[in-house]
Structure 1
Amino acid sequence: MAPTTPKVIFLMADYGHDPTETAIPYAAFKSAGFQISFATERGTKPACDTKMLTGWTQKLLGANQNTLKAYEKMAASLEFSGPIAWASPEFTLDPYNLVFLPGGHDKGVQQVIDSSIVQSHLADYFPGTERHHGSQKAIAAICHGVLGLSKANDPYGKSVLYGSTTTALPGIMEQGIWWATRAVLGNYYKTYGAGSDSVEAEVKKRLNFPDIQWKSSLSPTPFVVEDTMHNYLSGRYPPDAQLLADKAIALVQKIMTPKDENRPGVIKLAPTYESS
């Protein structure tokens, strides 16, 4: 039997996502042979944050040349140019092996983070990632994408991440870049405006034991967290995007590999998948 092609979907706002957190994973999934889909609210072609793509903000704070090339290819792709509508009554996440939630701090990302429709879809999908069920479904989220996932509630009103291990954008990083740029960029780096809680604070208050479940690092070394109960991976900010994508690919390939426990004569090797 021919292997099934893994399917991944990016859930996005019309505008504002970070290009590194979107284009770098897209390039990795494309290289790995995944079938890729994008979804926006009404099926409008999305656009990532132009401040990270052009002008002095790009040169000082934004995407590097590798990301710019990856974004150009992604923007010209059929998948990116023809997204499906996550607000459609027919939309479902069920066909996908991986749901990818990119981040971004521009105000436009509130469209997907705060959508009750998206939250409902994520709440329906997340239980299917439980590992003990032999699930072939996974979720990966980075930066503000984790915030969006944390706002999806189970039938008891608790976040789907209530019992999960996770990371997201560290508060000290978010506050630091906001203070460093507010004189020229205003509240650009605060998605919900001055005085709003950081992503870290928002996510932590939805966890059962935040002191235990929240994992983070202030090191520039790429950092990705793998939950032990679900097929769920999380990253902090753009420099983690490549590692997050690589680990997501390895995880999806692992969970979609047929189990051979009942086949005689099969020698099983120890897994080599590594988590941070």
Structure 2
Amino acid sequence: MAHPKVMILMADYGHDPTETSIPWKQFKEADFSVSFATEQGARAACDSRMLEGMTGMFLGAAHPAKTAYKALETSTEFQSPLSWTDPSFTLLPYDLVFLPGGHDKAVRQVIDSARVHELLAEYFPLTRAASSDKKCVAAVCHGVQVLSKAKYADTGKSVLHDVTTTALTSFMEQSIYQATRLFLGDYYKTYGAGTPSVEEYVRRELDDPDTQFKSSMSFAPFVVKDDKYNYISARFPGDVEEFGKAVVEAVERVLSS
């Protein structure tokens, strides 16, 4: 089997370092060929608050993730991303598209990008399990929100409309926001205080949110795999070790089938 090709779509700044670097490390260990893309091809940087200072110490990335992020920063692929606004850019050559999360307001660059939505709407149908195209998509936390906003031109429905998924849960988002708002303000609310949660944004795009959206209040790893599509989702940094393993296994299984 040829080296599976992975595309990681990112904003210029603000993604969670754990949700980005741990899956990247697992992809590299599995001998996947990894590429990155940002809006104009600028080198990305993850949310520094999750790596530095008191916030990084008490709420940020754990030591293994910080180590993985240092390795990620020096990698050729991270330092030389492609541009997802380049007219010639397409996701079609890639076996896996991965969307990391992150709550810093700067990640709205990718969440709200009409170009990213267009690219994902073209790619996602190729992940259907019955398809011969053998494509996969994985998303964690706010990365699921990116997918939820990608809509098919003919129906206006989200690519996730008939998909089983999870994302950062309202309980988790509201809990950390309330616990930190006196000293961090609305840092944990990507669209500002009083706006809907990631879960709410995602649920409103599902045909039957009460059955399709899977949630867990446990801090134990929680990973959701859809039956109809080669699509895997997770909630937050605590899930990503198991999430990354599940994604690697899914890509290898799909490509060998």
TM-score range, shorter chain: over 0.9
Q: How does 1:1-276 map to 2 (within 5 A)?
A: 3-154=1-152, 155-257=154-256, 259=257
Partner Cα separation in structure 1 for residue 99 and residue 61 of structure 2: 18
How many Å apart are 1:135 and its aligned residue?
3.3
Aligned residue number for residue 262 of structure 1: none
**Letter of the aligned partner of 1:57 in structure 2?**
T
**Letter of the aligned partner of 2:4 in structure 1?**
P
How many Å apart are 1:111 and its aligned residue?
0.1
Contact kept, 8 Å, 1:16 with 1:107, in 2: the verdict is yes
Q: What is the count of residue pairs matched by the alignment?
A: 256
TM-score by length of 2: 0.99
Give the match's secondary structure for 1:132.
coil
Q: Gapped runs of 5+ residues in structure 2?
A: none
Q: 1:221-272: per-residue Cα shift (whole Å, max 9, x none)?
A: 1000001110000000001111111111101000111x4xxxxxxxxxxxxx
Q: 1:23-71: per-residue Cα shift (whole Å, max 9, x none)?
A: 0000000000000000000000000000001010011000011001000
Partner Cα separation in structure 2 for residue 56 and residue 136 of structure 1: 44
Partner Cα separation in structure 2 for residue 152 and residue 24 of structure 1: 25
Identity %: 53
**Letter of the aligned partner of 2:112 in structure 1?**
D
**Letter of the aligned partner of 1:134 in structure 2?**
S
Give the match's secondary structure for 1:96.
coil
Partner Cα separation in structure 2 for residue 202 and residue 29 of structure 1: 29
How many Å apart are 1:220 and its aligned residue?
1.0
Q: Gapped runs of 5+ residues in structure 1?
A: 260-276
Contact kept, 8 Å, 1:16 with 1:48, in 2: the verdict is yes
How many Å apart are 1:92 and its aligned residue?
0.1
Partner Cα separation in structure 1 for residue 61 and residue 162 of structure 2: 34
Larger Rg: 1
Partner Cα separation in structure 1 for residue 187 and residue 99 of structure 2: 20
Partner Cα separation in structure 1 for residue 91 and residue 219 of structure 2: 33
**Letter of the aligned partner of 2:177 in structure 1?**
W
How many Å apart are 1:134 and its aligned residue?
3.2
Contact kept, 8 Å, 1:113 with 1:148, in 2: the verdict is yes
Contact kept, 8 Å, 1:16 with 1:108, in 2: the verdict is yes
Partner Cα separation in structure 1 for residue 203 and residue 117 of structure 2: 18
Partner Cα separation in structure 1 for residue 233 and residue 133 of structure 2: 18
Partner Cα separation in structure 1 for residue 40 and residue 253 of structure 2: 33
List structure 1 runs of 4+ shifted beyond 2 angstroms: none
